Amino acid sequence: MRILRANHLGMCFGVRDAIILAQQSALTEPLTILGELVHNESVLTTLRERGIESQDELADVTNNTVMVTAHGASQKALRRIRETGLKVLEATCPLVRVAHDALSNLVRAGYHPVIIGLKGHVEVRGMTEDLDDFDIVLSEEEATSLREWPRIGIVAQTTQPIAKVRHLVQLIRSRFPRSEVKFNDTVCQPTKQRQSAAVELAKESDVVLVIGGNHSNNTRELISTCRLFCSRVFHVQDASQLCREWFIDAETVGITAGTSTPDIVIDAIEDWLVRL
């Protein structure tokens, strides 16, 4: 059996930097992370083992220092934290900051903001909480049911597939030919690289394994992309979830992974396949 790794897979620099910041900060003072630092259970387990706490609600924080996750937060959320007297550490990915800035610039220029992303996702909440009026779309139906505005400014959640984003932008432009529609591409380069590599991997594979957390949006998108080109695609968080039956008659097995998946998890899965 041949085992192929995608040319681009696994943890991105924004996630690595956030983890390093959390671990270094916890060496000098007790630390609480607001929400999941990244959407990967193996990473979260490691952080807990190092004494780093996580809380979903600000009211439940007992330490003096809190960290904002790699997904970012709104200015309103940051103000709420600081008003309690807590010290704030920001682990926001720089490319998420780029998306925030792009959206703010469109609003200041008089465009009605439209975000292509997953409603309720922590990154999308961080992008929209400072806005008075906005729309979030992720389907053709949502895109074509928007109200008409003279000027529409579009950005995307950083982990959305660029092909999907461009398709929805074109639908909006077609739906509103009288509107000025401006699109700022805020899909991050690591997502684009992993999506493109996943397509090539799936085309060559009889079975594809997508490694990533259950709550990871970019992992879910990798699964959807691979299933367009390969009929046997399986999502796992770690090697313990692998099943021998998946690989019967498989000559080529492809491996890809979401942007919060550590190398050690990917390596363990490849080792399992080698011993199969």
Q: Which residue has the tokens 């610039």?
A: 105
Active site annotation includes 140? no
Question: Which has the closest alpha carbon to 262: 75, 89, 41, 81?
Answer: 41
Out of 36, 41, 123, 221, pick the active-site residue.
123
176-180-182 Cα angle (round to 5) = 105
Q: Is the sign of the CA dihedral 190, 193, 199, 205 positive or negative?
A: negative
Q: How far is CA 140 from CA 85, 99, 128, 265, in A?
A: 44, 22, 21, 36
Secondary structure element (H or E) that encloses residue 226, with its range: helix 217-227
Instruction: Find tokens 């053709």 and name the residue.
Output: 140
Catalogue the active-site residues.
Answer: 123
